Structure 1
């Protein structure tokens, strides 16, 4: 039986989060109601939403990475059935016991049967990260890819790039633990941009595609993105994926002199649904692994200190899984 109220983490205003009792969402005919099994912190987007973002009006139920079972569905919802375990990209409101999701506005999938409850909510991140290369397939003259930022999204993209058939994968990240994990998950070589010199940049193999997965640049001197662009071949592609709160700085001279071009990740929902089926298959057969990304597990009531730790010490955790105390 679905209760009338539930517990949820509500962002009352920028920077003010509170665990409080709210009404269970009432669904429209085009929505499903999902009982949340697990959720997880988004290292990339959640900090920006927390601090205040033009796309999100407060108060709102925080969080957007979750998975669960459909417990109610509207009359206009096809394809999905009661009791199905599902994951989806993208709809906010996940840090609650129940969430209303609109399948027509999202890319929703049945969770692969071999995924555990803890792994399932990370599928939102997997689908989101893979958008960076969904329409940038390896082909003649496009076989090497560099990924700047080996947080959760970058580590997923290492695996997706390998599964797509990229022959050489290069990673950049400040933190040794992330660089080492990238090597285990399929990267061929990794670099710490904090110690990069002009001479070292010249020794890095040129990439056909460079993907910006990083957050705010915290290094002095030349912007990290500019240095990264120096390692992309003339005429190469830069995919801008990350969400730096302070914006992204780079030299237009380097960008123009190397005749680079830039695009964002796929946002066409039809493409994401179609390519997402391919991603689901890669997770199912083990080409994209989720368990190595999970570093912490906490109860929902302990979310706030866990989130503060993500903000203050991003090097200490990759994916933080959340569950309600009475769940298995």
Structure 2
């Protein structure tokens, strides 16, 4: 028996959907899918294409009671003893559900500017046949638009997205995707530090709550998928010319933005200098008005002083006249007294 969380639901000869074991059990309970007999099975393992069935787990000392997909009795996987194409975990399931319907997200390599990706389609657990064999991508992202705009063209309009929890992509996977023109971005799938992850993830409501929060963090907040590209970039000729043209325009735009920024900085500097000059002129005007005011005051004092000087001179003249008259009076009186004595 091998336990897996996802499998292919074959709806028709050309149409299938990736579903998890809980969804499969729900579809089975509603008689939408048939799991018995095996010949009528419509759910298949993604790695081997063998029929599988959803099983409701049972809690025990060794198991948490999570549902899973199992091969039918008496059938074993041909990949027994071989490394799996995909590592399964509760964390992976949450990130797969969160990113399946995400409208935008950011990826960031160390030391580089983040890239914003607007996906046209997020193909979950995409099975691809390459020259190196079958590989399963956590997501094959069909790119609708990116910021910078040219970025998506250098990657041929697609991105392979891997969430890493334990094992890393195999060399076969890296080279096989590279030959298909699909660059593989290996991201650290980190839960935000403030999120509390319960030990028991069998409660569907708790899982949906986590899924919603993870999607909100990476879609609406400035949270990046930190990681690196793990295979060589191969840009097909159909995209090379578009990429070069757009990249040229983007570089010119950035150059113009830089020039505009520098000019705006100069304008701001000139405005500051102009404001300082205006303040200096206003201060000089104030000083001049103060000087003029003081000058008028001094002029008025000078005039007043001149008038007082004239007044003083007049008074002195009058005093001199009065003293002369007094002297004359004194002399006359003395002469009269002398005459009277004789």
Q: TM-score range by the shorter chain?
A: under 0.3
Greater per-residue strand proportion: 1
The structure number with the bigger radius of gyration is: 2
TM-score of the pair, normalised by structure 1: 0.22
TM-score of the pair, normalised by structure 2: 0.21
RCO higher in 1 or 2 (8 Å CA, sep ≥ 6)? 1
Greater per-residue helix proportion: 2
